[in-house]
Amino acid sequence: MTAPGVREWLVGHGRRLELGARARLMAIVNVTPDSFSDGGRHATVGRAVDHALSCVEEGADIIDVGGESTRPGATAVSPAEEQDRVLPVIERLARESDTLISIDTYRAETARLAIAAGAHIVNDVYGLQKDPQIADIAMDTGAGLCVMHTGRGRQKLDDVIADQFDYLLASLEIAAAAGVSRHSIVLDPGFGFAKDTEEENYALMARFSELGNFGLPLLVGTSRKRFLATDTGRKAPERDPATAASSVILRLQGAAIFRVHNIPFNRDALAVADAMLARRPQPHAEEPEC
């Protein structure tokens, strides 16, 4: 039995992750030459695995492995090239660590092969709407799903939260049609993904608690995003303090999982947030009328 406010996220290979009691950290491992912050640093199997294992030592609960940059304007890679980059990394991580592994992909075939190689979670930046077969693969394998909101390639609604519900409810319908359990799903509002101004990103952050109405765990990825430079003036590798600040803000509004580049910065900031949340007075149940 889990405590109030705590739930279990069901993921692949019979695993599960408790969410709610403390913030969970998802480490970004980009096996790419062109990601916006760390492109090329982990582009070989050995360097990617070493970095991933160091993130585990620092406190990462999940390793998110990606083989194609999702930054604006990035060049798409072929499915074969994506798979050549990520599958050897996943295979080695599955052998050398029992940490949960996520595959960052919007392609069903890459997702299928990654799960077979040892991945537990599929992190889809198009929220099942570019390749709906990802939902079928999750159903067949029991993999967890990170379903992300994006504004790319479509007309958004003017209200930032209304657009979240418009898009993500459609994604959840795809998952439900495939038979995916809601206990296997977390939602990601997609900070920086066709949120075209800092105003839109900060409005989403300010109203983040409204996404709790989905009744599902929430994952966030603000790490080193461009909108964090608006008030700091920092270049991408220098935005870890701003990232940690945004992580705390979102944790206090209900976020459960934090996808970040710098584990120690965010681990420590979120530990302070969790310590405060654990001591926050709980609302008293109303006394029954006599």
Q: Which two tokens stand for residue 156?
A: 């958004």
Is residue 259 part of the annotated active site? The answer reads: yes
What Cα–Cα distance (Å) separates residue 65 from each residue in 28, 68, 138? Answer: 7, 10, 17
> Which residue in 114, 117, 99 sits closest to 67, CA to CA?
114
54 alpha-carbon distance from chain centroid: 19
Write the Ramachandran bin of 205: left for phi over 0, alpha for psi from -120 to 50, otherwise beta: alpha
- Show the tokens assigned to 67: 């083989």
Residue 16 annotated as catalytic: no
Q: Assess contact for 208 and 250: CB atoms under 8 A.
A: yes
> Active site residue: 224, 251, 259, 267, which one?
259
Q: Is 171 helix (H, G, I), strand (E, B) or coil?
A: helix
The label of the residue with tokens 């992909």 reads: 105
Token look-up 């007075």 returns 281
Run of H or E residues at 114:
helix 108-117
Q: Roughly how many angstroms between the first and final C-alpha of the chain, as a whole number?
A: 33
Q: Tokens at residue 160, please?
A: 């930032």
Structure tokens belonging to residue 8: 């279990």
Residue 243 CA to residue 209 CA, distance in Å, equals: 18
Catalytic residue among 225, 239, 251, 267: 225
Q: What are the residue numbers of the active site?
A: 225, 259
